[in-house]
A and B are shown apart, each in its own frame.
Chain A
Amino acid sequence: ELKVEQNPLFLSMQEGKNYTIYCNYSTTSDRLYWYRQDPGKSLESLFVLLSNGAVKQEGRLMASLDTKARLSTLHITAAVHDLSATYFCAVDRQGGSEKLVFGKGTKLTVNP
């Protein structure tokens, strides 16, 4: 069974600081997704990482994928309050099914 673990689950940081969210998964997969969710809202797709070594950046967020280590990171640079949200990583289960298995999410709070 594919398991996806994120850490930390809760992250409180000051504006202007840098931090990294980690996403580990248990079985082979080379497709990983990062989503953002604001309270009570839908999930917004942030990044799609499709191969080993993939790195994508959008604004203050950068995501990377290491399929050998089964690890993805979401790095936050110079955080601002607008980044406060819950971030989920999700992995495609390899072997036919296209469903996504989600981590529990990291609730990020950026304080002024």
Chain B
Amino acid sequence: DSGVTQTPKHLITATGQRVTLRCSPRSGDLSVYWYQQSLDQGLQFLIQYYNGEERAKGNILERFSAQQFPDLHSELNLSSLELGDSALYFCASSVGGYDTEAFFGQGTRLTVV
């Protein structure tokens, strides 16, 4: 158990809908990362927050947004869902700083039907 908690574990929803994925980082970690894993694209970095502020942005669609709250948990919002958004979404956390190791949660498997 990495200490990073993601909910829900599984999510099935229809096209056009909106969902929210939640992540609680390890105790003491200030950085939260979101990744999307699909068969064709592999592991794609979406976005990183550090202590409540956006730190880096990757291949995140405009339909997707995220935030990190004062208690350091993070939410990834996915809207106007398409079939191609079906994937495993991982959250990872790290202490932050230069020499940092990221620990991954169990992931949320999103299926869009």
- In the bound assembly, the distance between CA atoms of A12 and B97 in angstroms comes to 38
Give a binary string over A2-37; 1 marks a CB under 8 Å from any B CB, 0 the rest.
Answer: 000000000000000000000000000001010100
The one of B96, B97, B100, B106 in contact with A42, judged by C-beta atoms closer than 8 angstroms, is B106
- In the bound assembly, the distance between CA atoms of A44 and B55 in angstroms comes to 24
| CB of A102 closer than 8 Å to a CB of B | yes
Query: Do A43 and B101 have beta carbons less than 8 Å apart?
Result: no
Query: Do B45 and A104 have beta carbons less than 8 Å apart?
Result: no
Q: Taking the nearest CB of chain B, how far is it from the CB of A93, in angstroms?
A: 8
Q: A42-B107, A45-B101, A102-B42 are in contact. Are A97 and B90 (CB under 8 A)?
A: no
Q: Taking the nearest CB of chain A, how far is it from the CB of B37, in angstroms?
A: 9
Which B residues, 56 to 107, have Cβ-Cβ distances below 8 Å to chain A? 56, 58, 88, 90, 92, 94, 96-107
Task: Please count the residue pairs between chain A and chain B whose beta carbons lie under 8 angstroms apart in the complex.
Answer: 55
Query: Do A98 and B43 have beta carbons less than 8 Å apart?
Result: no
- In the bound assembly, the distance between CA atoms of A98 and B48 in angstroms comes to 8
| CB of A83 closer than 8 Å to a CB of B | no
Query: Do A97 and B106 have beta carbons less than 8 Å apart?
Result: no
Q: How many chain B residues touch the partner (CB < 8 A)?
A: 28
| CB of A85 closer than 8 Å to a CB of B | no
Query: Do A98 and B55 have beta carbons less than 8 Å apart?
Result: yes
Q: Determine the chain A residues whose CB is within 8 A of the CB of B101 once the complex forms.
A: 33, 45, 48
| CB of B2 closer than 8 Å to a CB of A | yes
Q: Determine the chain A residues whose CB is within 8 A of the CB of B99 once the complex forms.
A: 31, 50
Q: Determine the chain A residues whose CB is within 8 A of the CB of B45 once the complex forms.
A: 99-102
Residue numbers of A with Cβ under 8 A of B are: 31, 33, 35, 40-45, 48, 50, 88, 92, 97-102, 104-105
What 4 A-B pairs are tightest by C-beta distance, nearest first?
Answer: A97-B56, A102-B43, A43-B104, A42-B104
Can you give 16 contacting A-B residue pairs, CB < 8 Å? A33-B101, A35-B104, A41-B107, A42-B2, A42-B104, A42-B105, A42-B107, A43-B90, A50-B99, A98-B56, A98-B94, A99-B48, A100-B33, A100-B102, A102-B42, A105-B42
